[in-house]
Structure 1
Amino acid sequence: MRSGPSMSNVATIAATDSELVVRARSGSETAYRELLARYQRPVFSLVYRMVRNREQAEDLAQETFVKVFQNITRYDPKYKFSSWIFKIANNLAIDTLRRKGPATISLDGAAHAETADQVEATRIDVASADADPAEALEARQLGGAIEQAVGKLRPEYRTAILLRHVEGRPYEEIAEIMDVPLGTVKTYIHRARSELRGTLAHLR
């Protein structure tokens, strides 16, 4: 007959991130393993959708956890641990994207969007608000040009656009990952869209 989980394992699973960080700082391998178990899949999902390459994403996820555990004594507990780890992962992914060129972005929504609402939420609208249907259709066919235009955005604008339109993450989560106020995220995305419209205006 198999025995159930030990009381210590139950306590570890039930512990908050902050409690696990305290234990990890004291050298607890069990706490390290639990943090890894909690964030391995979300971190991989983020970097994979940013770089669109499984092998590269696996390397980035591993590098993220190496950095997290090497610098865990520098983590400031007044911030959410999830925001800290996603910020590290995001920065590594953005550095990779800078080296290899812009990620593939479609005007018709993120590749992982499955419902009409998700498509609408992740679609980049580069047509002006008063564009007629023909202009709007033409704008939505400029996927290749958008890839180049995104690569020219300022890093913070590019990060926000990638997280919103490639990763499909809500504004509130982007604010946590980028460690900036919600209003700043909205400003970044608004300005990025404006710059994209300007860059692509001659193609419409």
Structure 2
Amino acid sequence: MQFFKRKSKPQTDAEYIAAYQASGDLNVLGELYERNMEMVFSICYKYLRNEEESKDATMEIFEQLVEDLKKHQISNFKNWLHSVARNYCLMQLRVRKVEVGGLQISDDEFMENEPFVHLSDETIDLEGDLQKLENCIGKLEFEQKSCVELFYLQEKCYKEIAEQTGFDMNKVKSYIQNGKRNLKICMEKNK
């Protein structure tokens, strides 16, 4: 009599990821995600501040993982998933903001350090004025220009900008705030 060795159920996150990548079985991914769903929901709720939107975001992040886990090698799933959830929520918040020629101007909800004070943001209508905006960005000081482009155009967070530029995190926030103010002033002068 021949006994067949039964495949054991994955135990660790790494085993779940390997099993999903090998088989593409959504049930395996679902089990892995279910173990981390509460964390993802908590992150979403922290950023979105709305229970229904957080539930939707939690499900949309799962759908995103279906493809992402096929492409990426992940060594620490919880940390990676935390970053995915945070970035997803930040993108949702940025989408909510007023767009000025593809440039999101309001960023108060992204502040990672509450005591830091921002000037009030007013909507600037630049629909047909992209050339003026481009010229004004070119007139910013190097530090402001770098930080504004990384934050608004490349959608980097403060920490990523600080790491990439070598600027202190508070300096990054200041450069973005001052750059945004200088853009507004420049655009008003060029109306």
Structure 2 residue 24 is the aligned partner of structure 1 residue 21: no
Residue in 2 that maps onto 1:148 = 121
Residue pair 2:40, 2:58 contacting (<8 A) in 1 also: yes
Counterparts of 1:20-59 in structure 2, within 5 Å, are 20-25=16-21, 26-28=23-25, 31-59=28-56
* Range with greater deviation from structure 2 (84-93 or 64-73): 84-93
Residue pair 1:157, 1:191 contacting (<8 A) in 2 also: no
Q: Relative contact order (alpha carbons < 8 A, sep ≥ 6): 1 or 2 greater? A: 1
Cα distance 1:72–1:192, how it changes in 2: closer, same or farther (>3 A)?
same
Cα distance 1:20–1:105, how it changes in 2: closer, same or farther (>3 A)?
closer
Q: CA deviation at 1:92?
A: 2.2
Cα distance 1:29–1:82, how it changes in 2: closer, same or farther (>3 A)?
same
Residue pair 1:157, 1:192 contacting (<8 A) in 2 also: no
- Structure 2: distance between partners of 1:62 and 1:148: 32
- Structure 2: distance between partners of 1:52 and 1:188: 29
Residue pair 1:50, 1:103 contacting (<8 A) in 2 also: no
The TM-score, its normalising length taken from structure 1, stands at: 0.50
- Structure 1: distance between partners of 2:54 and 2:93: 11
Rg larger in structure: 2
Structure 2 residue 90 is the aligned partner of structure 1 residue 94: yes
Residue in 2 that maps onto 1:137 = none
Task: Name the % identity.
Answer: 20
Q: CA deviation at 1:67?
A: 0.9
Cα distance 1:146–1:81, how it changes in 2: closer, same or farther (>3 A)?
farther
Consecutive unaligned residues of structure 1, counting only runs of 5 or more, are 1-7, 111-121, 127-144, 161-174
Cα distance 1:196–1:185, how it changes in 2: closer, same or farther (>3 A)?
closer
Q: CA deviation at 1:46?
A: 1.4
- Structure 2: distance between partners of 1:68 and 1:75: 10
Residue 92 of structure 1 aligns with an amino acid whose one-letter code is Y
- Structure 2: distance between partners of 1:188 and 1:64: 31
Counterparts of 1:185-204 in structure 2, within 5 Å, are 187=167, 189-195=169-175, 198=178
CA-atom RMSD in angstroms? 4.0
Residue in 2 that maps onto 1:75 = 72
- Structure 2: distance between partners of 1:97 and 1:88: 14
Secondary structure, in 3 states, of the residue corresponding to 1:148? coil
The TM-score, its normalising length taken from structure 2, stands at: 0.53
Secondary structure, in 3 states, of the residue corresponding to 1:71? helix
Count of residues in Structure 1 that have an aligned counterpart in Structure 2: 138
Residue pair 2:48, 2:89 contacting (<8 A) in 1 also: yes
